[in-house]
Amino acid sequence: MKLREIYKSGKTVISFEIFPPDNAEAVEKLFTEAGVLKNLNPAFISLTHSASGKNKENARKIFLELKNDFNFQIMPHFTCICSTKENIDESLDFFKTNGTENILALRGDIPEDKSIICKNFCNAAELVEYLNTKTDFSIAVAGYPEGHIESPSIKADIENLKKKIDSGADVIFTQMFFENEKFFEFLDRIEKAGIQKPVAAGIMPVISLNQLNKMTRLAKVTIPEKFKEKIISRQDDKNYIRELGIEFASKQCLELLEHNADGLHFFTLNRSYSAKRILENIYGGSYGKS
C-alpha cells in the first residue's frame, strides 16, 4: 500500500528502520530480529542506503529476503548525492519489479571525497522532482525538528522542506529527537509554512552511550541533561542503559500518542528488544502476535 494511503487510517502508524549489515554474522542476527519485529505488525519497515552506494548487491539480497521470507512491506531509502540519473533509474526498476510502492528520498551525507558528489543531484528536492517524473511511488522525505546541521537557520530549513513537499513528497520522516517539545514546535512551523502532510516521529531507543554519541555526532539533536547524566553515570552497565532507554522512549511515545502523532518510526539499529518493550508499554503487555 502507498504511504499516502497508509497514513490516512487515522491511527498512529508504527514502522521500523533497519540497515543492511555488511558481514554474514550480523545479517544472520538481523534475520532473527526481523522475525520478532514482524510479529509487532509494523505497517512497513524502511531499509537504509549508503550514500556512497557501497555494498549495493548485499543490501539488495537482504531486501529480497526480508520481502520474500518475512513478507515485510519495505520502503527503501534512496540517496542521491553520489548518484547519477542512470543509478536512480536502475534502482527504481529493481524496486518496482520487486513490489515496492514507497521510497524515502534523501540527499545523503556528503562524503569526504567531494569529487564524487552532485553528479546529477545536489539535494533531496531535486531527487523528489526527478522521481515524480519517473514513477508513481509514494515519496517520503526527511524533516529535522531541530534543523539540519548544514542549514543556516530554522527558517531556511523549513523552506527546504517545503520545496521537497512542493516537488511531490507525501510524508515526512523526522530525525530522532528526545524532547517532544522540539517536535511539537516543528509541527507548528510546518503548519504555518502551509505543509499539510503526515509526519512520522523518529524514535531512537538508546542502548549505549557510544551509540548515542555516534548517532548524534552529525545531527542537531538535544539530549536532555538529566537523561544524559544518568547514562554517563553508569555507562558500562548495558542492561541499565537499555532499560533507561526503554523507559525514556516509552514516556516520549505515550505523549506523542496523546497528541495523535501520525506515525512512530523506530530507529531499531536491527534490534527488536527495545521496540517490542516500548510498544508493550504504550499499547499493553500483549502487543503484537507474540
The correct pick among 20, 198, 202, 245 for binding ligand FAD (CB under 6 A) is 202
Minimum distance from residue 7 beta carbon to ligand FAD (Å) = 15
Residues 157, 147 contacting (CB under 8 angstroms): yes
Interface with ligand FAD, residue 281, by CB under 6 A: no
The correct pick among 15, 34, 43, 49 for binding ligand FAD (CB under 6 A) is 49
Minimum distance from residue 149 beta carbon to ligand FAD (Å) = 7
Which of the residues 140 through 179 are near ligand FAD (CB under 6 A)? Answer: 142, 148, 150-151, 156-157, 160, 164, 173, 175
Task: Please pick, among 17, 33, 101, 126, the residue that the annotation labels catalytic.
Answer: 17
Residues 154, 188 contacting (CB under 8 angstroms): no
The correct pick among 65, 89, 109, 129 for binding ligand FAD (CB under 6 A) is 109
Of residues 118 and 257, the one with the C-beta less far from ligand FAD? 118
**Residue 17 annotated as catalytic:** yes
Minimum distance from residue 132 beta carbon to ligand FAD (Å) = 15
The correct pick among 39, 48, 55, 235 for binding ligand FAD (CB under 6 A) is 48
The grid coordinates listed for 187 are 509541527
Interface with ligand FAD, residue 271, by CB under 6 A: no
Which of the residues 69 through 108 are near ligand FAD (CB under 6 A)? Answer: 77, 79, 106-108
Enumerate binding residues for ligand FAD (CB under 6 A). 48-49, 51, 77, 79, 106-109, 123-125, 142, 148, 150-151, 156-157, 160, 164, 173, 175, 202
List, by residue number, the catalytic residues: 17
